[in-house]
Amino acid sequence: MPHNTKAQKRDANYSKVEQFFNPTTDQYEVQEGSNGAAHVKLTGSNIPQGQEIPVKIAGADSSGGAVNTSIKEAQAIIPVDIQARLSQTIQTHSGAIIAPSNANSGAWIDVDGFDKVGVTMISDLANNNQVVQIHWSNDNTNQHGTEVFPSIALKEKPYITDIKARYCRLQLQNGDTAPHTMSAWLYLKS
Is 7 among the domain residues?
A: no
What does the alpha-carbon distance between residue 137 and residue 114 come to, in Å, rounded to a whole number? 15
CB 97 within 8 A of CB 179: yes
Q: How many of the other CB atoms lie within 10 Å of CB of 114? A: 23
Is 65 among the domain residues?
A: no
Is 73 among the domain residues?
A: no
Structure confidence by residue, pLDDT tens digits, 127-139: 778 889 999 999 9
Higher-confidence residue: 144 or 35? 144
Is 59 among the domain residues?
A: no
Residue 147 has pLDDT above 90, yes or no: yes
Number of domains in the chain: 1
Is 29 among the domain residues?
A: no
Is 170 among the domain residues?
A: yes
Q: How many residues does the chain have?
A: 190
How far, CA to CA in Å, does 118 sit from each of 52, 88, 144? Answer: 50, 10, 20
Domain span including residue 122: 87-189
What does the alpha-carbon distance between residue 109 and residue 69 come to, in Å, rounded to a whole number? 57
User: Which residues, in sequence order, are bridge partners of residue 165?
Assistant: none
Is 41 among the domain residues?
A: no
Structure confidence by residue, pLDDT tens digits, 150-190: 776 677 778 889 999 999 999 999 988 999 999 999 999 87
Structure confidence by residue, pLDDT tens digits, 95-121: 999 999 999 999 999 998 888 998 988
CATH number reported for the structural domain that contains residue 109 in this entry: 2.60.120.380
Higher-confidence residue: 78 or 156? 156
User: Which residues, in sequence order, are bridge partners of residue 162?
Assistant: 116
Higher-confidence residue: 26 or 85? 26
CB 127 within 8 A of CB 153: yes
Is 148 among the domain residues?
A: yes
Structure confidence by residue, pLDDT tens digits, 16-68: 777 777 778 888 787 776 655 666 554 555 555 666 555 555 445 545 444 45
